[in-house]
Amino acid sequence: MEFVMKTRMFEEEGWIRKTCKVCGKPFWTLDPDRETCGDPPCDEYQFIGKPGIPKKYTLDEMREKFLSFFEKHEVYPHGRVKRYPVLPRWRDDVLLVGASIMDFQPWVISGEADPPANPLTISQPSIRFTDIDNVGITGRHFTIFEMMAHHAFNYPGKHIYWIDETVELAFEFFTKELKMKPEDITFKENPWAGGGNAGPAFEVLYKGLEVATLVFMQYKKAPANADPSQVVIIKGEKYVPMETKVVDTGYGLERLVWMSQGTPTAYDAVLGYVIEPLKRMAGVEKIDERILMENSRLAGMFDIEDMGDLRYLREQVAKRVGISVEELERLIRPYELIYAIADHTKALTFMLADGVVPSNVKAGYLARLLIRKSIRHLRELGLEVPLAEIVAMHIKELSPTFPEFKEMEDIILEMIELEEKKYAETLRRGSDLVKREIAKLKKKGANEIPLEKLITFYESHGLTPEIVKEIAEKEGVKVHIPDNFYSLVAKEAEKQVEEKEEEVVDFELVKDLPDTRTLYYEDPFMKEFDAKVLKVIEDWVVLDQTAFYPEGGGQPYDTGILVVDGEEVKVTNVQKVGKVILHKVERPELFKEGTIVHGRIDWERRIQHMRHHTGTHVLMGALVRVLGKHVWQAGSQLSTDWARLDITHYKRISDEEIKEIERLANRVVMENRRVRWEWLPRTEADEKYGFRLYQGGVVPGRIIRILNIEDWDVQACGGTHLPSTGLIGPIKILRTERIQDGVERIIFACGEAAVREWQKEREIIKRTSQILRVPPEKLPETAERFFNEWKEARKEVEKLRKELAKLLVYELESKVEKVGEIEFIGEIVEGSMDDLREAANKLRKENRVVVLVNKEGHFVVAVGDKLPYTAGEFAKLITSVAGGGGGGRKELAQGKIRDIEKAKEAIEKVKGSL
């Protein structure tokens, strides 16, 4: 579908719609002589060395200029909204925030939540890995950048503003605030599609650089049963109109700062505080700025997709500046490495401050990718500087604007230091791994490591392709690294597997039923209730109201009984489909629609679930206070006897930390803090409590249930809880374990379950005291003494065993028989399998066969090197006579016979076969 995007400003102020002579795309301009759209590769950068904005701006100045312009606009004042975390806790379909609109998807756009302001303005740090291989090379690509934006959500019956006003606001900001030349600005028409939405869009271009994109989101992906008359095709996909029309804009903060400074690259304009110290540390040769400028100008003409592109770029730049490609590579490579390190470490600072823990999965994998790529670049530069030192530079520079960085500094730096150590260990182990793979390839006659294997080395073993290449080339094997290698692996990590839980019954069967009244929320202590049967579906009964809790939020379902016509029927499972609750019963045929039944829940089971669920929230508050704000719930499960809580954490939890966590949690129990729950509109809850609400995962719905433990922990949670912490009873941590890289599991017990654990421990201590015949307080020193004595005794036994083995060999040497020219020793002896093996090895001679069997039936056969027999043959012969099994090498075999009575017969059989 082609959108012809006329606007009020274009018509009233004499803008001309033209077609670009290079790309063929339509664009709007005030310049009647312009023939190109202004977008690379149709136009080169025209601002490098001669800034396109009269005043030079820093990042902070430009951000404030933008936000205050929209916030204080006379006609359209926008609400200023703080940045969202780069880790999007409010959604589970993406790993990182890559654009400002993602802050408001899906809830605000779907209308399930109100926007924090409407219209609003924000500057959102955004992280994208799609261009990671271009970072440092093209002069303009970043993995982290700030997308400044103004958004308007036009709900049905509530119009804010649309295309005309958006274009006018952008033009006003650029020309009146930043004093850009109107005749150099072009609006290029380019429909946009992404994340399931689409709409017409303008790219705003100035002096060869895209400075903003204005998207008018008004379509969503068409369902299979969409009305054909509503369907539009955009970029080959089918879409249908949305009820809400969204103004989705994005202005490049870094690009505008670069435009105002005209530096050779965007990195020089915004990351100088890291770039300059790194240049000094690395002793980088100062090069003619013209080289960097020409490199950026030409790199702007295309993206680096593969080696061919990068080679071509080098050739073109070398030609322009009059040096060889080799000389250009030598001069420019250190700059590219430093630019990439500066960008990657800034992205890391945001990721780790916002709760990403480096690991092998999801966002943690992407953080590790940045860490290892940065370390590799430092190594190529010959720099020994710790990566944490560079991250500390970002924290120092950025914390006046982002104070959360200073708060998290110690944890961020410790995570980086630990990752560096892990990486060094990976490299030590990795060298052998690569050499083994090379040996396999050589056997097959191959002389190049394939791309799939490079990706496996990286994903499974953390070995960067550059390191694999270094090892491989020493072994005479080629490695071709595509220039977009890191984009490829990041793309794989960002693929999300959508797992849909199977519904217990088809939603269609319950969609016309009213919502089940949730008595367990109205009174969590309700043990019995009456209700009416609304429907029976196979083994499931639907009631108009229930006190039975359905499975969800990490809390198991309730069990109990339903009394129908005087008969008690067991309830074995309770589930929720939509807002209808279903009870699985043992005798569904007893239930009829309209019947009144009496429900009774298994209270002992439920109260333990409540203790463990409220206890989980208390424990979470303690974990964050002891371990740090990076700690995030990664899963939980409750039972009656124990509960588990999985958290993100970058190292094992120490014994001292466990003690402190347990102490804090029990102090909150003893303080008997109030536990409140309330239903709040999603946006109000987010603004009041922040995104730590979503510890248990994304919670759907316009209104969400908030559980608040007074001054301790606040979470969105649908479980049943106790009204005060004192009712939890004691909390005891049973153990912790690492379940995967970056995730720790805490197993704990609350209330009666904790008491039972203490009683179990007391019983173990009591029994141990009785066995060792000392009081409990003397157990540690007694156990240590006994252990040391046992170790000494074991050494003595080992010494004596060796003496006995010598005696055994001496004794057996005197029992050699001759069978023709062959010497033979065959005896049943005392000793372990180790003794037999040692004796047989010592007795073995070139012309001798030895068969030794112990009283348990273990046997060893030894055969001399000059004999035409194998020990394995004799092992088979022995077991053919006495049963059992065994085998081994030519010179030595071992096994065990089943019938010890036939041991002598088996030995004679071997002797007879010689």
126 burial level (CB within 10 Å; 0-12, 13-18, 19+):
buried
Cβ(655)–Cβ(736) under 8 Å?
Answer: no
Cβ(489)–Cβ(560) under 8 Å?
Answer: no
CB atoms within 10 A of CB 424: 10
Q: Which residues, other chains included, contact 190 with Cβ-Cβ below 8 Å and sequence gap of 6+?
A: 25, 201, 202, 203
| pLDDT recorded at residue 499 | 46
Spans of all domains in the chain: 38-262, 277-441, 507-601, 607-760, 812-912
Annotated binding residue 583: no
Cβ(816)–Cβ(843) under 8 Å?
Answer: no
Distance from C-alpha of 336 to C-alpha of 310, rounded to nearest angstrom = 12
Distance from C-alpha of 206 to C-alpha of 183, rounded to nearest angstrom = 9
Q: Which residues, other chains included, contact 840 with Cβ-Cβ below 8 Å and sequence gap of 6+?
A: 850, 852, 860, 861, 862, 892
Query: Can the peptide bond before residue 723 be classed as cis, meaning omega within 30 degrees of 0?
Result: no
Distance from C-alpha of 390 to C-alpha of 407, rounded to nearest angstrom = 17
**Residue pLDDT, tens place only, 453-486:** 888 887 777 677 877 887 887 787 888 887 677 7
Cβ(360)–Cβ(381) under 8 Å?
Answer: no
| pLDDT recorded at residue 507 | 80
| pLDDT recorded at residue 2 | 58
Which regions of the chain are under pLDDT 50?
307, 496-500
- Cα separation values, 837 from 146, 617, 736, 899, 907, Å: 71, 59, 42, 21, 17
Phi, psi torsion values for 342, nearest 5 degrees: -60, -45
Tokens representing residue 138 in the block: 């093209």
Annotated binding residue 613: yes
Task: For residue 185, give the nearest of 9, 55, 303, 22 by alpha carbon.
Answer: 9
Cβ(221)–Cβ(238) under 8 Å?
Answer: yes
Task: For residue 313, give the nearest of 131, 478, 139 by alpha carbon.
Answer: 139
| Strand pairing report for 713-716 and 731-740 | unpaired
| Strand pairing report for 144-154 and 237-252 | antiparallel
Tokens representing residue 167 in the block: 């274009």
The CATH class that applies to domain 812-912 reads alpha beta
| pLDDT recorded at residue 1 | 52
Q: Which residues, other chains included, contact 655 with Cβ-Cβ below 8 Å and sequence gap of 6+?
A: none
| pLDDT recorded at residue 500 | 45
Phi, psi torsion values for 24, nearest 5 degrees: 80, 10
Distance from C-alpha of 464 to C-alpha of 699, rounded to nearest angstrom = 38
Domain 607-760 shares a fold with domain 812-912: no
Using DSSP's 3-state secondary structure scheme, residue 460 falls into: helix
Distance from C-alpha of 484 to C-alpha of 494, rounded to nearest angstrom = 15
| pLDDT recorded at residue 759 | 94
Domain 38-262: CATH architecture, name and number where available: 2-Layer Sandwich (3.30)
HSE at residue 772, side-chain half, CA atoms within 13 A, is 20
The CATH class that applies to domain 607-760 reads alpha beta
| Strand pairing report for 545-546 and 517-518 | parallel
Which numeric CATH code is attached to 507-601? 2.40.30.130
Distance from C-alpha of 285 to C-alpha of 76, rounded to nearest angstrom = 51
| Amino acid sitting at position 29 | T
**Residue pLDDT, tens place only, 250-259:** 999 999 999 9
| pLDDT recorded at residue 495 | 58
Q: Where are the beta strands (DSSP E) in 514-595?
A: 517-518, 528-537, 540-543, 545-546, 560-564, 567-577, 580-585
Tokens representing residue 515 in the block: 């919502």
Q: How many residues does the structure list for the chain?
A: 914
Which of 290-309 are b and which e, b meaning 16 or more Cβ less than 10 Å from the residue's Cβ? Answer: ebbbbbbbbbbbebbeeeeb
